[in-house]
């Protein structure tokens, strides 16, 4: 069975200890855990704090760096059981793009007392869930999203081995 296509772009200035294939596997397993068709594709960008701050200011009106941004391409994305993805003409579900600040991920990993792989896995799962319609604006939404993140991360097991 084919897997979703994950197009990875890593800022050349960054020296990250993980390869594209590891990053892709985390995203693919998240998409699969949500039951999304294998004919899906998305972008995953690993960048610096300056770039993500610029994106955060432009698209969210917040002039500060953040850890992850998600730009979904499927309007009205929802996790309600009766809602289905509408098939685009090319047959591929274009989910959108997840942008992660590697320096912010490193800071958060240190603050949380775990490794960068665990932090990146969490941010990828979080970003992909945003693409699929999860949100955390309201307390109930945040609780639901956090629970799903934990379920998927638990399913992934030791992310070092992914």
Query: 31: which 2 tokens?
Result: 């998409």
Under 8 Å CB-to-CB from 43, ≥6 apart: which residues?
A: 6, 7, 8, 9, 96, 97, 98
What is d(CA 93, CA 112) in angstroms, rounded to the nearest whole number? 35
Predicted confidence (pLDDT) at residue 83 exceeds the cutoff of 50: no
pLDDT for the residue numbered 86: 55
Q: Which residue has the higher pLDDT, 85 or 34?
A: 34
pLDDT for the residue numbered 80: 42
What is d(CA 87, CA 93) in angstroms, rounded to the nearest whole number? 7
Helix and strand numbers (H, E) in the chain are 5, 4
Average pLDDT over residues 56-78: 84
Assign domain 5-161 to its CATH architecture.
3-Layer(aba) Sandwich (3.40)
Q: Which of 52-56, 57-61, 78-82, 100-104 has the lowest mean pLDDT?
A: 78-82
Average pLDDT over residues 29-50: 92
User: Is the pTM above the cut of 0.85?
Assistant: yes
Residue-wise pLDDT tens digits, 103-160: 999 999 999 999 999 999 999 999 999 999 999 988 999 999 999 999 999 998 866 6
Q: Are strands 93-101 and 68-72 parallel, antiparallel or unpaired?
A: antiparallel
pLDDT for the residue numbered 88: 59
Residue appearing with tokens 């307390």:
139
Q: Which residue has the higher pLDDT, 137 or 37?
A: 137
pLDDT for the residue numbered 141: 92
């Amino acid at each position: 069975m084919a897997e979703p296509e994950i197009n990875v772009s890593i800022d050349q200035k960054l020296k990250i200890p993980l390869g594209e294939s590891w990053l892709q596997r985390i995203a693919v397993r998240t998409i699969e855990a949500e039951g999304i068709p294998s004919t899906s594709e998305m972008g995953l960008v690993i960048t610096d704090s300056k770039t993500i701050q610029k994106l955060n200011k432009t698209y969210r009106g917040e002039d500060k760096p953040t850890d992850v941004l998600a730009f979904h391409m499927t309007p009205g994305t929802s996790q309600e059981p009766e809602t289905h993805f509408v098939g685009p003409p090319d047959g591929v579900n274009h989910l959108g793009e997840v942008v992660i600040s590697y320096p912010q991920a490193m800071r958060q990993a240190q603050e949380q007392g775990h490794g960068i792989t665990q932090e990146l896995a969490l941010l990828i799962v979080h970003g992909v869930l945003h693409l699929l319609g999860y949100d955390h604006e309201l307390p109930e939404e945040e609780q639901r999203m956090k629970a799903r993140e934990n379920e998927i991360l638990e399913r992934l097991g030791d992310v070092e081995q992914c």
